[in-house]
């Protein structure tokens, strides 16, 4: 496995050098083509083993490998299409085609799970004896080792480039390893103990395949509909932003996913209200350029001026922050400022609420009542922001 991976790595590096996107596309093609070849070979081995032994589960497993080869072919098409350059009608590129490819793989897995389930039921109702031979046994063991090798290769290729289609194929390969081991178990039980459990095993295999297909589909649909952002990548962006001069804090961070390796982000950066506007703008410009060059992520930065608070105002800010932190669910605030008057003192700030939060009116009433308990002159002017990142 290491030899094959290093050989591919050497060839890709020699051909594409430092081009990250071309390297990513090349690895996607290597993974897909490897899957097509290996799955076809394994399907042939299992089919022969099933015919020789009369095992329904083995033949069904061979059909499953053929579907895996079809899934790898879909992955290959997805990689090719997602590599297309941006167009006038698609200025953000075609990266989400990979998600569509993953969706196709998930549907194939689900379809094969249904077929395996039907075959298992039929085998339970009409059981047939399995002809055991050591040749068949060795073929199935080789098949397990081949699928395990493919699982490792898929993950080794897919994880660094975050290719969702290959990651789905890796999950399917692991379930195939377990299902083929189950077929071997049913053969051994039939040969040594006379137990006809082939149909039951086929049924269990089908449930495993259905579970794998459902996991792939649900995760992919979530991504297409705008699921949770990449937490590790988001943390790296925030950490990098906080390293720049003038930056006192950040909030309202949003990441927009346009496919693996293709995303945009926006963030509000808190800067001192008495700072040099031109100097701070230059820092923000450099920040956007640096992150685009380092992480290949276009970043849109909004500057929020933060006024200095007096000791009394800081105390009020801390009290309200503690009140929100003890709320259920715990909440945070930002952009706190005080606008004093003779009979009324406005406390102006934003509260960050999680998606799906439906108790804003109740929250407003409670926080206004709490502020008045500190000082009757306090009146809260609050805006609720949705947290699209810490979810």
CATH number at residue 377: 3.30.300.30
For the chain, the average pLDDT equals: 81
pLDDT at residue number 374: 92
Q: Which domain holds residue 248?
A: 231-306
334 and 349 in contact (C-beta within 8 Å)? yes
pLDDT at residue number 19: 58
Question: Once rounded to an integer, what is the mean pLDDT over residues 221-242?
Answer: 83
- Residue partners of 193: CB distance under 8 A and separation at least 6: none
Helix (H, G, I), strand (E, B) or coil at 164: helix
| Position with higher pLDDT, 6 vs 69 | 69
pLDDT at residue number 161: 72
187 and 50 in contact (C-beta within 8 Å)? no
One domain, residues 33 and 16: yes
Helix (H, G, I), strand (E, B) or coil at 326: coil
With cut-offs at 50, 70 and 90, classify the pLDDT of residue 213: confident
pLDDT at residue 156 is higher than 80 = yes
pLDDT at residue number 274: 87
Alpha helix segments (H runs only) across the chain: 2-16, 20-53, 56-82, 97-125, 134-161, 164-193, 198-224, 231-241, 277-295, 311-325, 360-374
pLDDT at residue number 321: 92
Cα separations in angstroms, 188 against 160, 172, 185, 353: 40, 24, 5, 58
Least trusted range by pLDDT, from 70-84, 142-156, 310-324: 70-84
Helix (H, G, I), strand (E, B) or coil at 386: strand
pLDDT at residue number 57: 59
pLDDT at residue number 320: 92
| Position with higher pLDDT, 98 vs 269 | 269
Least trusted range by pLDDT, from 57-71, 95-109, 135-149: 57-71
DSSP for 335-348, written as a single string: EEEEE--SS-EEEE
Helix (H, G, I), strand (E, B) or coil at 381: strand
- Domain stop point among 224, 259, 276: 224
CATH of the domain at 295: 3.30.70.1350
Question: Once rounded to an integer, what is the mean pLDDT over residues 354-359?
Answer: 84
236-282 pLDDT per residue, tens? 999 999 999 999 989 889 888 877 667 889 999 999 988 899 999 99
Alpha-carbon distance of 72 to 167, in angstroms, equals: 11
> DSSP class of residue 297?
-
Q: Is 391 inside a domain boundary?
A: no
One domain, residues 163 and 290: no
Least trusted range by pLDDT, from 15-29, 72-86, 195-209: 15-29
Alpha-carbon distance of 156 to 149, in angstroms, equals: 11
Phi and psi at residue 288, in whole multiples of 5°? -65, -40
One domain, residues 15 and 106: yes
One domain, residues 287 and 191: no
What distance lies between CA 95 and its chain's CA centroid? 14
One domain, residues 178 and 64: yes
pLDDT at residue 12 is higher than 70 = no
> DSSP class of residue 86?
P
Residues pairing with 138 in the sheet = none
One domain, residues 282 and 354: no
Count: domains in the chain: 3
pLDDT at residue 105 is higher than 80 = no
One domain, residues 264 and 353: no
One domain, residues 215 and 255: no
238 and 267 in contact (C-beta within 8 Å)? yes
pLDDT at residue number 204: 79
pLDDT at residue 391 is higher than 60 = no
> DSSP class of residue 384?
E
One domain, residues 264 and 199: no
pLDDT at residue number 128: 66
CATH of the domain at 6: 1.20.1510.10
pLDDT at residue number 276: 92
19-45 pLDDT per residue, tens? 566 777 777 788 888 888 888 888 887
- Residue partners of 391: CB distance under 8 A and separation at least 6: 228, 354, 355
- Residue partners of 359: CB distance under 8 A and separation at least 6: none
347 and 380 in contact (C-beta within 8 Å)? yes
298-309 pLDDT per residue, tens? 999 999 888 888
Cα torsion at 389, 286, 96, 101 (round to 10°)? -100
pLDDT at residue 16 is higher than 60 = no
Helix axes 164-193, 97-125, angle to 10 degrees: 10
Helix (H, G, I), strand (E, B) or coil at 353: strand
pLDDT at residue number 69: 80
One domain, residues 219 and 353: no
């Amino acid at each position: 496995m290491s030899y094959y991976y290093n050989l591919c790595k050497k060839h890709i590096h020699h051909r594409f050098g430092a081009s990250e996107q071309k390297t990513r596309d090349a690895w996607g093609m290597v993974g897909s083509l490897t899957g097509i070849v290996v799955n076809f070979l394994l399907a042939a081995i299992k089919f022969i083993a099933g015919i020789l032994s009369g095992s329904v589960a083995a033949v069904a497993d061979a059909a499953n490998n053929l579907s895996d080869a079809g899934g790898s072919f879909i992955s290959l098409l997805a990689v090719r299409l997602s590599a297309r350059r941006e167009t006038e009608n698609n200025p953000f590129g075609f990266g989400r085609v990979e998600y569509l490819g993953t969706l196709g793989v998930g549907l194939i897995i689900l379809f094969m799970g249904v077929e395996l389930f039907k075959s298992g039921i039929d085998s339970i109702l009409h059981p047939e004896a399995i002809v055991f031979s050591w040749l068949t046994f060795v073929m199935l063991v080789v098949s397990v080792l081949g699928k395990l090798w493919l699982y490792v290769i898929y993950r080794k290729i897919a994880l660094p480039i975050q290719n969702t289609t290959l990651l789905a194929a890796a999950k399917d390969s692991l379930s195939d390893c377990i299902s083929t081991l189950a077929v071997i178990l049913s053969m051994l039980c039939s040969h040594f103990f006379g137990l006809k459990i082939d149909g039951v095993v086929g049924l269990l295999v089908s449930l495993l395949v259905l579970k794998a297909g459902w996991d792939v589909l649900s995760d992919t649909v979530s991504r297409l509909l705008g699921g949770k952002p990449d937490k590790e990548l988001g943390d790296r962006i925030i950490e990098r932003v906080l390293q720049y001069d003038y930056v006192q804090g950040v909030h309202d961070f949003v990441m927009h996913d346009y496919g693996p390796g293709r995303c945009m982000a926006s963030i509000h950066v808190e800067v001192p209200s008495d700072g040099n506007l031109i100097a701070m703008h230059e820092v923000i410009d450099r920040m956007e350029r640096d992150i685009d060059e380092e992480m290949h992520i276009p970043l849109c930065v909004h500057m929020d001026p933060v006024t200095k608070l007096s000791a009394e105002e800081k105390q009020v800010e801390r009290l309200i922050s503690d009140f929100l932190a003890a709320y259920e669910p715990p909440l945070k605030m930002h952009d706190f400022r005080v606008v004093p008057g003779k009979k009324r003192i406005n406390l102006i700030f934003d509260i960050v609420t999680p998606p799906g939060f439906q108790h804003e009116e109740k929250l407003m009433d409670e926080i206004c009542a709490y502020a008045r308990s500190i000082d009757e002159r306090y009146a809260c002017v609050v805006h609720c922001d949705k947290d699209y990142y810490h979810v």
